[in-house]
Amino acid sequence: MDLNYSAEELAFREDVKQFLSDNLPAAFSDKVRKGQSLTKAEHEDWHAILNGRGWLAGNWPVEHGGPGWNAVERHIFEEECALAFAPRIVPFGVSMLGPVLHKFGNDAQKAHWLPRILNGDDWWCQGYSEPGAGSDLASLKTKAVREGDHYIVNGQKTWTTLGQHANMIFCLVRTDPDAKAQEGISFLLIDMDTPGIEVRPIILLDGSAEVNEVWFTDVKVPVENLVGEENKGWTYAKYLLTHERTNIAGVGFSTAGLESVKRIARAEMAGGRPLIENPHFAARLAKVEIDLMAMATTNLRVISKAAQGQAPGVESSMLKVKGTVIRQDINDLARRAAGPYALPFASEAVDGMNEPPVGPDYAAPVAAQYFNNRKLSIYGGSNEVQRQIIAKSTLGV
């Protein structure tokens, strides 16, 4: 047992730190720290900066233009980015579609789509969920009917994150209505500019406009946009979901979040003393910090195994549950710490408008973030579904 990183790993961490301090625009980290959302152009700029260094697609093998990192290196990179308040890498092309194409795409698809992801030519979004198909994804109804060289797609996707920015969507569609639910699904790449597609924003409870409904009416999709084999889409979708769950523990986000809470609690006064010295608040903070220390170590145990080539199993589900609960607890602490100044609705905190915040600037985003991050335990396989997976794999009843 050795809890230390190797010399190479430490050197790599220094590289990442240096890179971030040289290249991460202060305007971006400022927005992230304040809980503001980035514009499309800002996201694209950040992707381009990372791509310039060859670090945009940390989970891609060298042959496809990735850095070929192992799980430990990926973890170090993600952690340093979070601690520096770097914008999140938009996951849909890089983390989700990329690995599916590596494994199941044909040569033409790889040659066409992969460089475009790295170069930022396409903005992808994920068209899985439907109004009737959430946790039970396999019950999806959007259908694609083959007509000559095209599929004709009809139906509706929902919860499409950042679909308003996207020019491409990867979709699960039903191609065989008569087969068993999982067996009639195909994986299609669809150009969002095709006639018959309509994107409608969904406003979330914190006022943010990050998700959408996407409607398809007689949308013509060329057959060469089918990934892999027809009716085998469920296999690819499941493969993608395992990649969606990398960095699922969000240790870096939690560590950075905890620092923010402490900063608020040092500035806020309660009964004439800094809140951080208040025993009840200090106890709440300590509890979450201890949870995080343990979870970060679980995460490293899983990562270390993965770096040795052992695919994580049920541990991913454990990290998803614990990681999201801790992040949500931290959001809860932040809103508590801000006190009455958590009340004013700071639309600028969400939209990046230029009104000055009502209270101290640290207070502006905390309530919105608290509500927005309720999503963490709902998406990416809800925490109930994860618990079901954990229980099933061990109870055997």
Candidates 13-21, 34-42, 199-207, 240-248: pick the segment binding other proteins (CB under 8 A): 199-207
Residue ranges in 145-184 that form contacts with ligand FAD under rule CB under 6 A: 159-161
Do 123 and 167 meet the contact criterion of CB atoms below 8 Å apart? yes
Binder of residue 331, out of ligand FAD, other proteins, none (CB less than 5 to 8 A by kind):
none
Q: Which are the contacts of 234, defined by CB distance < 8 A and separation ≥ 6?
A: 138, 172, 182, 183, 185
Catalytic site includes residue 244: yes
Residue nearer to ligand FAD on the CB measure, 239 or 379: 379
Binding mask 124-143 for other proteins (x = CB under 8 A): -----x--x-xxx--x----
Helix (H) or strand (E) holding 288: helix 279-307
Point out the catalytic residue in the list 78, 79, 244, 315: 244
CA quadruple 21, 27, 29, 30: dihedral, nearest 10: 130
Nearest-angstrom CA–CA distance, 140 and 133:
5
Residue nearer to ligand FAD on the CB measure, 160 or 175: 160
Residue nearer to ligand FAD on the CB measure, 201 or 339: 201
Q: Which of 62, 80, 82 is nearest to 12 (CA)?
A: 80
Binder of residue 353, out of other proteins, ligand FAD, none (CB less than 5 to 8 A by kind):
none
In the complex, least distance from residue 128 CB atom to ligand FAD, rounded to whole angstroms: 3
- Pairing between β-strand 124-127 and β-strand 168-174 as defined by DSSP bridges: parallel
Binder of residue 139, out of other proteins, ligand FAD, none (CB less than 5 to 8 A by kind):
other proteins
Residue ranges in 252-281 that form contacts with other proteins under rule CB under 8 A: 268-272, 275, 278, 280-281
Choose, by CB under 6 A, the member of 8, 121, 147, 384 that binds ligand FAD.
Answer: 384
Do 140 and 133 meet the contact criterion of CB atoms below 8 Å apart? yes
Compute CA distances 107 → 102, 114, 124, 233, whole Å.
9, 10, 20, 18
Q: Which of 356, 361, 363 is nearest to 341 (CA)?
A: 363
Binding mask 292-311 for ligand FAD (x = CB under 6 A): --------------------
